[in-house]
Chains A and B, each alone.
Chain A
């Protein structure tokens, strides 16, 4: 139930007074309530639970995490296992 899935917002609209959107999950499109991520625009990624976007994905942070983890591996290759990564 807590397994939120990241998807890309394809369009936004209003229904019954709520901000809604079509969100693409790797080829499958679903209607999602965007009321909790009011700033989100078309083309951005959101994390969706039970039909609600509960978080707008930070693409910057997503890349930074990967870079950080790649660095762990790179440093390990350069200085060997005792290098110590603070």
Chain B
């Protein structure tokens, strides 16, 4: 496939890895923000091909993982109502809520459907005027433009039976939270390439400067990832701290302006609770008041639902780069992709799921 296979070229990857080996002189801790990158790194064994001085820690960029438990419980409560068609990206269905998951709602007669695009949910609302169609609008800056468009379209089409359960999160506040933590070990970041394709990376130079950390916009194929690591390591070794772009074919400094404009029209920033981490100020988006009619929380009166986490799961520490999946006592024992205790084991972008799938059962 064009623009995929070239970036999996083993010879080129090896060449860049060799350059990283030559460049590095001392230990560095580098975090990849995005769960998609974690998956790629573990799948191709990139972490094991890097010099032993470079430790890659896995960041919080797994939307399914950080969606708070009470929001999943709210989704389950809404999906259990008669007349509701509850729609979601596929990954969310197996995420355990306090008592059950969305799959079990479906098993007991609830109408829960996986959609590929939020516009499919809008279409369902058009086709089923006597039903309430709810879309579980989660994700980072990458799903915000599609989710915003679903609300804009529902309004344009005059649909009064469509609503969204919103739990949007943003990357830059999470980077601030990680760097501001007294436990922080991260010295450089691979920024999430597709988040930057949407938002640009103009928010990153001030972070790089304030915290003296290199931040490199990085893609998802093996060659993209080693290139990102090379950029970070070069800066670390030379004492530089800037925001650079190593994913120029997809991301620009300004990002996607039409997408940003629609996000701005539909959403406003808010404090947001991240599963396993806690509340990060100004780290989320919620619907603007003028779109309250499309807010499923208000429409179904579930705003007050609260929830408690499993005490065994250390997903929060993993999402902050403080622990690795195999540091968890429950990993691959009480917690497996079939019986997940926490969301990092559910999502294909979760670090625990990647470690389990590719057989990383012990500390090397």
Contact = CB atoms under 8 A, between A and B. Distances in A.
A14 B66 CA distance: 36
B139 interface: yes
Contact of B117 (A2, A6, A52, A73): A52
Interface range for A: 35 or more
Secondary structure type dominating chain A contacts: mixed
Contact of A54 (B2, B198, B223): B198
B50 to A, nearest CB: 16
B227 A52 contact: no
B19 A85 contact: yes
Interface in A10-49: 16-18, 25-26, 30, 33, 35-38, 45, 47, 49
Nearest to B39: A3
Contact of B258 (A35, A47, A57, A62): A35
Interface in B135-185: 139-140, 142-143, 145-146, 149, 153, 156-157
Given A2-B61, A17-B156, A69-B16, A62 B142 contact: no
Nearest to B13: A69
A3 B4 contact: no
B349 A4 contact: no
B189 interface: no
B163 to A, nearest CB: 18
Interface range for B: 35 or more
B1 A51 contact: no
A1, A52, A73, A82 — which one has the most chain B CB atoms within 10 A of its CB? A1
Contacts, number: 143
B275 interface: no
Interface stretch (B247-255, B279-287, B293-301, B309-317): B247-255
Given A26-B1, A51-B116, A72-B16, A1 B227 contact: no
B119 A1 contact: no
A51 B146 contact: yes
A59 B34 CA distance: 24
B209 interface: no
Interface string A48-81: 0111101101110110111001101100100001
B276 interface: no
